[in-house]
Amino acid sequence: MLAPLLLMLTALQTPAPGTVTVTVDSAHHDVVVTAGPYDLPEAMPGMSHAEMEHMAISETELKRFSWPVDGWFRGFALEVRDGNGRALSRRILHHMIMIDFDRRQLYYPAYERLMGAGQETADVIVPASIGVPMRPGMHLGMYLMWHNETGADIKSAYLVLRLHYAPKNQLPRPVDAMPVYMDVNLTVGGDNVFDLPPGVTEKSHDFVQPISGHLIAVGGHLHDFGIFVRLTDLHSGSTMVQLDAVRQPNGDVTDLPRKLYGVSGAGLRLVAGRTYRVTGKYDNLTHALIKDGAMAHIVGLFTPDDIRQWPALDVNDPGTKADLADLQSLGKASGGMRMAPMNHMKD
């Protein structure tokens, strides 16, 4: 795998910062998206790890590209490399988000977030029996948040993302599954971060389910000091799913395990008109307020009872317009990259 990667990176020569290239590895059913090069200054020279973690990161511009194949998106494998093809720590990629500009989210009047990955996210692939329906020419975009806490500047970092797909002629045909996103503190076109005072903090958001169906895969995202993110059915009072963070003694979050429900069963039933609550819990082990230091959300794959009931994208909706304006504002300073305060992060 390294040799083709080296050829790919060499062929780029001296591209503009953050150039995105897309190729198709049909033998492995992968769409390969390469973004780079990015020069990453040390996050905050002279500051402690905790201060670097919660003060600043490098934000990139939104980069657009087209999905090239007909079929179903099934998962991803992510690598961070330098210009010579050598592996870099995945921890320097705080998170990446991929947007589908042809579909709306289920719970928000905003563009679909097709996928995302954070520092704590492992590679994932779902069973061949399910997948997100995709068609050639779909308009996608991607932005990255780098966080170089290595103690030294990094020159020419590349993100190499292999997006696994099932081809259109796969039999049996996969069940259509749609990505969904539930945040404890999201303002469409605005921020989803919140403050962390010392000690324990919980933040929740209630929402009414728009259409019925099943959650068949669940993941999430927390920053350091995160304890869990949870989904509760307020009609029954029962916890539907809770994702517990794997944490180091200092509070660093190293993993947030995912759960697959659609492999051996129908999944978690969500009923239209019923109210649900998503909750994030943190324990700030420091003695200081961490301004805009937290996020908490659940992502998943949802199989609707009737996909025709999925909300249509309305580009004239004020929320959709605000979402687009916010995405287009990312990373505009300093040649497509800037040191961004944590309150500008929108997973």
DSSP secondary structure string for all residues of 248-281: -TTS-EEE---EE-TTTS--EEE-TT-EEEEEEE
283 contacts: CB under 8 Å, gap ≥ 6: 199, 200, 201, 225, 227, 251
**Percentage of the chain surpassing pLDDT 90?**
69
pLDDT beyond 50 at 307: yes
pLDDT at residue 345, rounded to an integer:
36
Cα–Cα nearest to 191, from 288, 330, 60: 330
Cα–Cα nearest to 279, from 301, 296, 292, 257: 296
pLDDT at residue 91, rounded to an integer:
87
Amino acid occupying residue 91: R
| Beta-bridge partners for 340 | 57
Name the residue with tokens 């977030």.
113
Residues 338 and 259: their CA atoms lie apart, in Å, by: 35
| Beta-bridge partners for 277 | 206, 232
Lowest mean pLDDT among 9-23, 187-201, 224-238: 9-23
Structure tokens at 127: 């069973």
Lowest mean pLDDT among 1-15, 234-248, 287-301, 310-324: 1-15
DSSP 49-64: HHHHHHHEEEEE--EE
pLDDT beyond 60 at 334: no
| Beta-bridge partners for 142 | 63, 98
Residues 134 and 127: their CA atoms lie apart, in Å, by: 16
Q: Are 210 and 203 in contact (CB under 8 A)?
A: no
pLDDT in tens, 133-178: 999 999 999 999 898 888 888 999 999 999 999 999 999 999 999 9
pLDDT beyond 60 at 296: yes
How far is residue 100 from each of residues 43, 216, 293, 313, measured CA to CA in Å? 30, 21, 27, 11
pLDDT in tens, 85-118: 999 999 899 889 999 999 999 999 999 999 988 7
Cα–Cα nearest to 222, from 119, 319, 111, 303: 119
